[in-house]
Amino acid sequence: MTARMSESTPTVTVIMIVFNGEALIGESIESVLGQTWNDWELLVVDDGSTDRTRDVVRDLAGRHPGRIRLVTHPDGGNHGMSASRRHGVSNCSSPFLIFLDHDDLMLPGALEEMVGLLEDHPDAGAVLGPNQRFWSDADGAVEEKEDETQFISMDLDRLALPPGILPVFLSDSSSIPISPMIRREAYEASGGYESAFKGMYEDQVFFSKLVLSQRIYLSSSTWIRYRQHPDSCVARSFQLARNADDRNRYLNWLAGHMTESGMKNAQIETILHRELRRNRDRVRRDLRRRLLRLLSGMLPFRVGQGRSRKAS
């Protein structure tokens, strides 16, 4: 495959959204710069960062002219993940798009292999593969924990018709692949990201729209290293005991989306009802956790300490 930088519009735009990501974004950008495929641009969308994120990006852009562009929202403010991804798409014209989060990494042959698969399968609206999870602290120091390759319990290396992988990741949200490469026309046909989802589940909302409307090539190849760290959006959701609420909102959105779109799929409807029922217990559990946390902050001493004083 010829790897040559286009003189005008690049074949691929890598869209990277970021908010206060100065500690990790440099490594992520370097992983894009290390690609074996050269016909790409990196578009960084800053979502109102207040740290040195923009300085880090400008420094790397200056050292690699013509490769990296930095854009912000017109008002320079914070608008959330979905709105930032949409803003990125509106600021590029490449036929192929891939969204890489500022804390994740791209393996060197990722773009070359993904472009090749889209060219070999013109009916595919997108191509995706399993992720490789790794663990680090908030500053990027990698933990001594074995990497974990995501398992997708489906036949791979084939073209999947809608609803594709949706039943699998509805049953196990940890199985959702991140950073598929998408044809621009497939992105637009799916309706893109939902700006109402500013954080958690914004990617799963879009992914659901994509696989419900497009043929997807499912590859067994791994291209993305998915970082697990304490400052991630997912980690914060669990820390705040909000994950069940976030998942409930997503599941209800999906049920409404299928109804409004006139989509009928008995398998998906069955899984949705089951997952909504299961998630009710998680919502109640998280609510109890939040209430206990609130009460412990309001009391002048811990409940356990009060009992021990009475007993003495």
What are the residue ranges spanned by the domains of the chain? 12-229, 240-300
Question: Over the stretch 26-49, which tens digit does the pLDDT of each residue have?
Answer: 999 999 999 999 999 999 999 999
Measured distance CA(192)–CA(181) in Å, rounded: 13
39 burial type by CB count under 10 A (0-12 exposed, 13-18 middle, 19+ buried): buried
Note the pLDDT of residue 289.
75
Note the pLDDT of residue 298.
62
Tokens 């692949």 identify what position?
177
pTM for the model stands at 0.86
Note the pLDDT of residue 146.
83
Note the pLDDT of residue 312.
32
Taking each helix axis from N to C end, the angle separating 202-213 and 81-90, rounded to the nearest 10 degrees, works out to 50
The CATH superfamily label for domain 12-229 reads Spore Coat Polysaccharide Biosynthesis Protein SpsA; Chain A (3.90.550.10)
Q: Are strands 216-218 and 181-183 parallel, antiparallel or unpaired?
A: unpaired
Q: Which residues of the chain have pLDDT under 50?
A: 1-6, 237, 301-312
Question: Over the stretch 143-186, which tens digit does the pLDDT of each residue have?
Answer: 778 888 887 778 999 999 999 999 998 988 767 778 999 999 99
Note the pLDDT of residue 26.
97
